[in-house]
Amino acid sequence: MSRRDQKRQQYASMFLPKKQASDSGSYGTDKKVCGTCAQYSESAYSNDGRGSCKFLKAGSDISKNQPVYVLEGKEGFFTKTLFDASLCKYYEKMRMIDKDGYECSDPVYRRSIRQLQNN
Amino acid sequence: MSQPIERNKSVEEYIKNHEWWWAAEKTRSERLDYLRKGIWKKGAIGGLYAPGVKVDLERAELHTQKAKELEFSPDPYVIKFAKMIAHVLDNKTIFITDHSQLVGYTGSLPNTIAWDPSCASILNDEVYNDPTAIPEPVEKNQKIIEDVNAYWAGKTDLDKMMPSFDIEDLMKMLSGSIGWGVPLARGGYSNKDYEYIMTGKRAFQDIIDEINQKLDDADEEIHKPGASKEIALMYDKINNWDAMIITLEAGIRIAKRYARLAKIIAENFEEDPKRKKELLKIAETCDRVPEKIPRNLQESFQYDIFIQMISRTEAIEGAWPSRPDYYHGPYYDKDVNIDKTLTKEQALDLVGEFMIRAAEVCQFKPKWSREGLQGIDGTWVWTMGGVKKDGTDACNDLTIAFMHAARLVRVANPTFAFRWHPKVKDDVMKEIFECLKHGLGYPNIRHDPILIANSMHWHGHPIEEARLWVHQACLSPCPPTKKGFQPMRMANATVNCAKIIEYVFSSGYDNIVNMQIGAETPEVTSFKDFEQFFDAWVTQMKTTFSILVRAVNRARILAPTLTPRPFLSALSERSIESGLDTCDPSIARGNAWITAFTWVENIDSLAAVKKLVFDEQKYTLAQLKQALDSDWNGYERMRIDFVKNAPKWGNDDDYVDNIMIRCLRAAAEFSKELKCPCGNNWPILPENVSGNIHYANIVGALPNGRRLGDALYDGGISPGPGLDKNGPTAVLNSCGKIDHITDGRAFLLNQRLSPSQLAGDKGYKLWRAYMKTWADLGIDHIQFNVVDDSTLRSAQKEPENYQEVIVRVAGYSAHFVDISRKTQDNIIQRTVQGL
Amino acid sequence: MQICSNCKSYFPLEEDNKKGDCVRRVIDRRQAYYLSKIVKSEAISCSYFQEKK
């Protein structure tokens, strides 16, 4: 596989526009979603719910019944704020330190405000 | 709960106490007072829109409805798109506000923000996820948004464009770490061919007639015996011309809807005879423009508003390039001085209302835009003054009227940028000074001779065109001429430059967004001398600039087919003539630039590394890297050393000033290698808007002593807050070492002055002396904050009593209470210069 | 049945007798204004319906 193809595979899921609403909507902070994990970094670009994991690396897949954990490598695992993390053994609930939507985003600490509202 | 401030002092008392906003409230007419207080503030505070401001679903639904209807139509895309715009204009809700004389708004109601669902799916998801701006009932309207989003998924401009970009570049751009913007023709900001449409020679019907002639000629051509490549291409031109007419006719129709509404109100609802007369005047005005050429000031302003409104129906516009005193000035002169159909006070009401109409404009923007442009929707930097084509002074009575109106209505946006030249009369300079003294934060002052030369140097604009320049957005000049005007400046070519120095230490890996973005330069600890370190910096600079510029270039090439702009093309002489979309690079000269956010951090960091690591050998690069990787935690003494004992830009110190020159010249040299699709250069332009706050949590620790999360410097070539220790002349001297013609496109400089210093004639003389130094040093830009700390701190405690206090953020002004706390503190930290 | 063309707020278009402007007064927190929306003459009226006299 060429380097270009590898990159395409790696990034492909981030470009698929959502055709269903199933991965939108508020889940509440009691649910294990990537967005409430201490390892999650929200996108610095947009409020559309993208982000990446600082702990898991590219190639990981936590959607399967037997999750795939890649811990080595440079690139972080790209995921979404509302991605179901209930199967991820490395999930660690973040400390909700603030809820002020009028400040600028902090990819490391802040989350899409919807998730904070139920706290 | 704070107590409302007593407002029963006299105007003179308010002026004496520098409470300009209360003085303005008492001085302006009842009409202007009503209209000013009627504005729903649309600028986001930090990341969120203000309470009560809601996304306009009507526009999204109308656009989607027509798109669905046309999905299986055989029309080429440009015509379908023109029909979608026409459908929105034909069916959107319109309104006329009490006491107004000018009409036209992007949304359906005064408190709504227009949302175009066809630009980017990412944006549509942001609408869905927005916690405060979805109108009631939220659950029902979320379903509507969901359905709209589902339709447009895969069909938006960005969805269509993305497969055509390099995927690696795209991922880096979408990380939000190095860039700020989207590479979209309908998601940036457009200048206009004002020389074609605003000089009183033609209006929409005249353009339609011109296009019809073109169509007749083309029709004849394609039916003659014969066939050729030119004939094969002619069919696309015919489609473009057809689409242009569709949008122009829709523009005429919506104006007539306003005319009809004004007449209905006058005849059926309004009882006050004076207001009836005004409404019938609105009807007459909207019946006339934009179909026909304006005849008076009200029609001229109304014509301009309609153009902007329709342009903002076609695209998301992030700026408002304009030269209102130059193009509307002849009508002001005619009405006030020659025909005397308006008194100065009546004209002032129109001028003030024109500003208010601009202030209330809003389109839903993505997070990076809201955070980077806190308090405003986009940078409406209106160009004033300057020279005419022949080089003579262009200032007129309307220039002065705008300054006066600005002090009365106190909107933060539009903001003015004054093109200073040596022949500007003293009475104009006094008006500018009054605006600054009143704490408006504008006009910012531009050095006209320098910038005309700059335009000619970088982009080869002929001198007569260069002399007509307007601000494309905050700072960059652009001629509003046939080949010169820039139809889509994409903010995507905006670089978070602080990452350049960060990537030298991480070999291009971004630890905040967890991906390789910069170049894989050698391990920083391997560098033996400053030259090797600097070489790595240059490599990172070239890499980050190239990623973003490549995307814009690609989008520009794709724009005519994938994201056409039939309305903007209809206002462009080069498009009418050629039949090509106005974004087609082959018919334009090019006016691209790279906005360099967070630039000075590089200079101060390079100076610190050079001094403390290489010259004094006090620390090793390994020690510094460790400290930075730890965000200076456990290295506070070392951090203070890097803050205090390394020279900082803005102190007239050659050690660090020479590094600034070196960095700029490395960028300038590379700018000539980077070419836009028109074949022209990509010079850099250091400035910030509120990107220094937006990026605060995205840029890590740096050798200038900053930690992750600290606000970055406020922009351009301004020294870091509190780091300019040697007074205002030292700042100017540092900035004067830069060649403002050849070292870059333009350079933003913020200065803060004390209100008490500017009192009376003495204050004016001090300021003029300061400005003389600025001009003699050939510095191209300067802007001022003139508001004291105690006012700002009071405004933080009791914002409801300081709604009209304005501050200069960076390339724009904002109401102090409309920006986030962090941004407020950052402005307060800026050094107050003593003149 | 209450239809738009029977409403006080309805003003027929000269060029198309099947459509009209629906004009209403609104006073929000900040300003008062008259709005206009294009409606079909035979459309079922909304909650703001007031019969023309």
pLDDT in tens, B14-25: 988 888 999 999
Confidence of residue B544 (pLDDT cuts 50, 70, 90): very high
Looking at per-residue confidence, does B756 or B731 come out higher?
A: B731
Structure tokens at B186: 């309908």
Distance CA A107, CA A76 (A): 14
Q: Is the pLDDT of residue A110 over 70?
A: no
pLDDT band, residue A28 (cuts 50/70/90): very low
Q: Write down the pLDDT at residue A102.
A: 64
- Give the whole-angstrom CA distance, residue B356 versus residue B812: 16
Q: Is B264's CB within 8 Å of C11's CB?
A: yes
- Where are the extended beta strands (E) located within chain C? 10-12, 19-27, 32-40
Confidence of residue B810 (pLDDT cuts 50, 70, 90): confident
Residue type, B379: T
B20 vs B17: CA distance, rounded Å: 8
Interval B354-382 mean pLDDT: 91
Contacts of B464 (CB under 8 A, 6+ apart): B389, B390
List, in sequence order, the alpha helices (H) in B373-527: 397-409, 426-437, 448-459, 463-466, 498-506
* CA B175/CA A75 separation, integer angstroms: 12
State residue A101's pLDDT score: 59
* Choice between A4 and C36, residue whose per-residue pLDDT is larger: C36
CB-based contacts of B776, cutoff 8 Å, min separation 6: none
B512 touches chain C (CB under 8 A): no
Q: Which of B125, B374, B514 sits opposite A18 (nearest CB)?
A: B125
Whether the pLDDT of residue A98 is over 60: the answer is no
When pLDDT is cut at 50, 70 and 90, the band that residue A20 belongs to is: very low
pLDDT band (50, 70, 90) for residue B744: very high
**CB contact (8 A) between residue C23 and residue B93:** no
Residue B383 scores a pLDDT above 80: yes
pLDDT at A104 over 80: no
Higher per-residue pLDDT: B237 or A45 = B237
Dihedral sign for Cα A24, A25, A26, A27, please: negative
Cβ distance of A107 and B697 shorter than 8 Å = yes
Give the angle subtended at the CA of B32 by the CAs of B26 and B35, to the nearest 5°. Answer: 120
Residue at B117 is within a domain: yes
Which residues in B lie closer than 8 A to residue A117 (C-beta atoms)?
Answer: 131
Q: Letter for the amino acid at B815?
A: H
Q: How close A90 comes to chain B (CA, Å)? A: 17
- B52 has a chain C CB within 8 A of its CB: yes
Contacts of B535 (CB under 8 A, 6+ apart): none
pLDDT at B5: 64
Please compute the mean of the pLDDT values over residues A46-74 and round it to a whole number. 83
| A105 has a pLDDT exceeding 70 | no
Chains C and A touching, counted as 3 or more CB pairs less than 8 Å apart: no
Q: pLDDT tens across B28-58, in order?
A: 999 999 999 999 999 888 778 888 999 999 9
Size of interface B-C (CB pairs under 8 A): 61
Measured between alpha carbons, how far apart are the two ends of chain C, in Å?
A: 16
B745 to each of B193, B257, B543, B827, how far by Cα in Å?
21, 43, 20, 25
Residues in chain B: 835
Please indicate if any CB of chain A lies within 8 Å of the CB of B161: no
pLDDT of A96 > 80? The answer is no
**Structure confidence at residue A22 (pLDDT):** 39
Q: Are B365 and B124 in contact (CB under 8 A)?
A: no
CB contact under 8 A, B696 and A104: yes
Contacts of B229 (CB under 8 A, 6+ apart): none
Percent share of chain B, pLDDT over 70: 99
Give the three-class secondary structure for B566: helix
- Closest to B679 measured CA to CA, from B556, B543, B551: B556
**pLDDT mean over B209-215:** 98
Q: From the candidates B33, B93, B105, B282, which should be mutated to test the interface with C, based on the most C CB atoms within 10 A? A: B93
Paired strand residues for A57? A76
Between CA B762 and CA B774, with CA B768 as vertex, the angle to 5 degrees is 145
Q: Does pLDDT of A115 surpass 60?
A: no
SS3 B38: coil
Sort out which chain A residues have CB atoms less than 8 A from B159's CB and list them. Answer: 17
Mean pLDDT for B710-736 is 92
B94-152 pLDDT, tens digit each: 999 999 999 999 999 999 999 999 999 989 988 987 878 999 998 899 999 999 999 99
| pLDDT attached to residue A24 | 44
Question: A119 falls in which pLDDT band (50, 70, 90)?
Answer: very low
**B506-520 pLDDT, tens per residue?**
999 998 888 899 999
Mean pLDDT, to the nearest integer, of B801-819? 86
In DSSP terms, which residues pair with A53 in a beta bridge?
A40, A77
B728-736 helix and B760-776 helix, angle to the nearest 10 degrees: 20
Averaged pLDDT for residues A71-86:
83
For A72, other C-beta atoms within 10 Å of its C-beta total 6
Q: How far apart are CA B722 and CA B626, in angstroms?
A: 27
Interface check for B98 against chain C (CB to CB < 8 A): the answer is: yes
Chain C touching partners, 3 or more CB pairs below 8 A: B
Instruction: Check CB contact of B368 with chain A, cutoff 8 Å.
Output: yes
User: What is the model's pLDDT at position B830?
Assistant: 82
Specify if B476 maps to a domain. Answer: no
pLDDT at B258 over 80: yes
What residues make up the domain containing B717?
496-562+598-723+734-746
Model confidence at A118: pLDDT above 60: no
Last residue of a domain, one of B102, B134, B164: B164
**Does residue A39 have a pLDDT over 60?**
yes
**Cβ distance B710 to B696 under 8 Å?**
yes
How much is the pLDDT for B291?
Answer: 98
Contact B727, B653 (CB under 8 A): no
Residues A27-53, mean pLDDT to the nearest whole number: 73
* pLDDT band, very low/low/confident/very high, at A2 (cuts 50, 70, 90): confident
Enumerate the residues of chain B whose CB falls inside 8 A of the CB of residue C31. Answer: 34-35, 38, 97-98, 110
Contact with chain B for residue A99, Cβ under 8 A: no
Residues B693, A104: C-beta atoms closer than 8 Å: yes
ipTM exceeding 0.85, yes/no: yes
What CATH number matches the domain at C1-53, 2.40.50.140, 2.40.10.220, 1.20.144.10, 4.10.490.20? 4.10.490.20
pLDDT value of residue A106: 62
Residues A10-32 have a mean pLDDT of: 50
Q: Looking at chain C, which residue has its C-alpha nearest residue B270?
A: C34
User: H/E element holding B784?
Assistant: strand B781-785
Q: What is the pLDDT of residues B168-199, one digit of tens each?
A: 898 898 888 898 888 888 988 899 999 999 99
* Residue B620 confidence (pLDDT) above 70: yes
- How many Å is the Cα radius of gyration of chain A? 14
Distance CA B403, CA B679 (A): 39
**Residue C50 contacts B, CB cutoff 8 Å:** no
The strand pairing partners of B446, in sequence order, are: B419, B781
Kind of pairing, strands A50-57 and B594-597?
A: unpaired
In angstroms, the CA B468 to CA B462 distance is: 10
Vertex B826, ends B821 and B827: CA angle to 5°?
A: 100
Region B335-339: what's the mean pLDDT? 98
Residue B721 has pLDDT above 60, yes or no: yes
pTM: 0.93
Nearest CA among B148, B157, B159 for reference residue B68: B148
Closest CB to B93: pick one of C28, C32, C37. Answer: C37
Q: What are phi and psi of B510, to 5 degrees?
A: -100, 115
Average pLDDT in the B457-482 region?
96
b/e map of B31-47 (b: 16 or more CB within 10 Å)? bbbbbbebbbbbbbbbb
Residue found by looking up tokens 């008006």 in the block: B431
From A115, A95, A102, select the one nearest A28 (Cα to Cα).
A115
Cis peptide before B422 (omega within 30 of 0): no
Q: At what angle do helices B397-409 and B30-37 cross, to 10 degrees?
A: 60
Q: What pLDDT is attached to residue B758?
A: 85
Give the tens place of pLDDT for each residue, B263-282.
999 999 999 999 999 999 99
Question: Is it the case that residue B578 has pLDDT exceeding 90?
Answer: yes
> Minimal CA–CA distance to B468: which of B488, B445, B450, B485?
B485
Report how far residue B510's alpha carbon sits from residue B210's, in angstroms, rounded to the nearest whole number: 54
How far apart CA B695 and CA B429 sit, in angstroms, is: 36
Distances B649 to B535, B550, B608, B661, B663 between C-alpha atoms, Å:
21, 31, 11, 11, 13
Interface of C with B in 24-43 (CB under 8 A): 25-26, 28-38
- Which residues, in sequence order, are CB contacts of B3 under 8 Å at separation 6+? none
CB B761 within 8 A of CB B426: no
Mean pLDDT in residue range C1-24: 93
Q: What is the pLDDT of residue A14?
A: 55
Which of B58, B100, B264 would best serve as a mutation to test chain C binding (most C beta carbons within 10 A)? Answer: B264
Binning pLDDT at 50, 70 and 90, where does residue A19 land?
very low
As a whole number of angstroms, the distance between CA A53 and CA A35 comes to 10
- Partners of C27 in beta bridges: C32
Q: Which pLDDT score is estimated for A113?
A: 39
Supply the pLDDT for residue B320: 95
**Cβ-based contacts of A105 with chain B (< 8 Å):** 47, 367, 371, 694, 697
d(CA B576, CA B569): 7
Domain end marker among B164, B183, B204: B164
pLDDT score for A10: 65
How many structural domains is chain B composed of? 2
Which of B30, B87, B256, B261 has the highest number of chain C CBs within 10 A, making it the mutation to test binding with C?
A: B261
Helices (H) and strands (E) in chain C, counts: 0, 3
Which residue is associated with the tokens 């009401």?
B349
Q: Is any Cβ of chain A less than 8 angstroms from the Cβ of B45?
A: yes
- What's the whole-number average pLDDT of chain B? 94
A73 CB within 8 Å of a chain B CB: no
Q: Which of B323, B318, B434 is nearest to B386 (CA)?
A: B323
Greater model confidence, B553 or B787: B553
Cβ(C9)–Cβ(C23) below 8 Å: yes
How many angstroms separate the CA atoms of B542 and B710, rounded? Answer: 26
At B479 the pLDDT is 97
CB of B90 less than 8 A from some CB of C: yes
Res B364 pLDDT > 90: yes
Q: Is the peptide bond before B290 cis (omega within 30 degrees of 0)?
A: yes
At A42 the pLDDT is 75
